[in-house]
Structure 1
């Protein structure tokens, strides 16, 4: 790899991201930074209350995607979404609450000081954003701890992120940080390299006028190009590794069949106006009290809030 440096990344790393649609950066966070995030995630799991929890499960299938009020109003809160297999036939938890959560989201980067520091106050994140030149003026709009619980951590089918965090034009960028070792057995991410160049965004995940969520077609089915060919590449990660994920690249993860959890912290950036439009159809909406926060200190008269 070329040793030609930018501010943080190497030029070859930037070229690799645009060629493959993703980039793993080993050891992005220090051991201390990574352990602080993992410890805080486990504290949140220990302390959350089930008394008023609606037992909302996080599901990913097109016909059964999560879309209740607990989910739709989570953008400016810290909420807990359960694994599908954590509930029995009577809708009761079949395990301890700490081992039942699929993910914690979606306002961690705003509301929790530990996650905020790594996301919005991190000079390395700012340097990567400048080096990548993926956005003019990026803002962070959601964040999650994904737990991938032992034996029940659910499969996440092939998808791209811009379908779920849609802007016009598409501009989503994922920053996915391993907090534990990620292996083929516990659900490491897999990518279809180059698919961001040939797989257009064909639909978007929206709030339905009748309530809940669904998908709106952007391209008529008869005009959708064939699925890109190629082999998925599994990216095993060590704690502290960062994976940058282009919003159009196809990726997935398998069910966790191991006795080891696969905690990861992920947040997403999008382009801000006037460079891209984020509209009221999206499931996640900014609020006057919590607009989407800028990643870079760029003067801009636009206020990015609903």
Structure 2
């Protein structure tokens, strides 16, 4: 007999849902992601140009303001000093975020689907909201490493409530950079926070409140999955992914859900709803 979702999540810090999406549904999302590559506005590249001396601050401002927009984030080395592409458009993007779930019909359909609502209901959510979403490319040979982190570092709530939905749009293997987890690490709390810098005199708009912890590589368990699989990710479980060194893409669509009933979303978090608005409620 399979354990309940809550029991599985509390045991390992993640839950694997095979066949969460049908093949044709995966194709629809992946095609939408491919189209985003071709639609990326040229002006978005200038933010990542190394010519501008305020480059880092411009990047942070671009990032902070992406919460209610569809914005494009490029792979390191995809642009030259002038912001011109040096790779094919389909290989240039690292990710697109962070409002696909509200501003794009295809991603909105799958984020607010009956399946997602059912999972959240089984997890005990009363009034879940979706603060952000991302299309992650992890392209062949250029898809960058994602360092060990916890989602709660970026989307902190009290009490803990954040759950990530990570949907594989290709087979995710060790070779192309599947997710890797430290099982049980969610039981050790949030190790550090990524927040809006309280120091108004600093050039850094965003900052970490503590140095990065060191996690031995041997502690991580690779979790290869087939396309259409959804991995539920506890906000405190430590996870990472290697660079894609293969010749196969590893696209994924991911979004996060938080509880809003009796739960406080930190005002220090980098991502904040636009003034006068709130994050969209999943059940409405």
TM-score bracket for the superposition, by shorter chain length: 0.7 to 0.9
CA contact (8 A) 1:146 1:265 kept: yes
Determine the C-alpha separation between the residues in 1 that align with 2:25 and 2:95.
20
Aligned to 2:260: 272
Aligned to 1:5: none
Query: What secondary structure is seen at the aligned counterpart in 2 of 1:54?
Result: helix
> Aligned ranges for residues 276-295 of structure 1 at < 5 Å?
276-288=263-275, 290-295=277-282
Question: What's the CA shift for 1:92?
Answer: 4.3
1:215 to 208, 227, 241: 208
CA contact (8 A) 2:166 2:255 kept: yes
Q: How many residues align?
A: 274
Aligned to 1:254: 242
CA contact (8 A) 2:45 2:83 kept: no
Determine the C-alpha separation between the residues in 1 that align with 2:207 and 2:142.
25
Question: What's the CA shift for 1:291?
Answer: 2.3
Determine the C-alpha separation between the residues in 2 that align with 1:231 and 1:29.
30
Q: Does 1:200 align with 2:200?
A: no
Deviates more, 1:225-234 or 1:19-28: 225-234
* C-alpha distance after superposition, 1:155-198 (max 9, x if no partner): 0111110001112223211000001111111110011111111x
TM-score of the superposition, structure 1-length normalised? 0.82
Structure 2: runs of 5+ lacking an equivalent: 50-55
CA contact (8 A) 2:45 2:79 kept: no
Question: What's the CA shift for 1:87?
Answer: 3.1
TM-score of the superposition, structure 2-length normalised? 0.88
Aligned to 1:156: 146
Aligned to 1:130: 121
Aligned to 1:166: 156
Determine the C-alpha separation between the residues in 2 that align with 1:225 and 1:284.
23
Structure-2 change in CA distance of 1:126 and 1:236 (3 Å): same
CA contact (8 A) 1:56 1:70 kept: no
> Aligned ranges for residues 213-252 of structure 1 at < 5 Å?
213-217=206-210, 231-252=219-240
Determine the C-alpha separation between the residues in 1 that align with 2:48 and 2:230.
29
Aligned to 1:97: 89
Question: What's the CA shift for 1:284?
Answer: 1.0
Structure 1: runs of 5+ lacking an equivalent: 3-9, 58-63, 298-306
Structure with the largest fraction of helix:
2
Aligned to 2:135: 145
CA contact (8 A) 2:46 2:82 kept: no
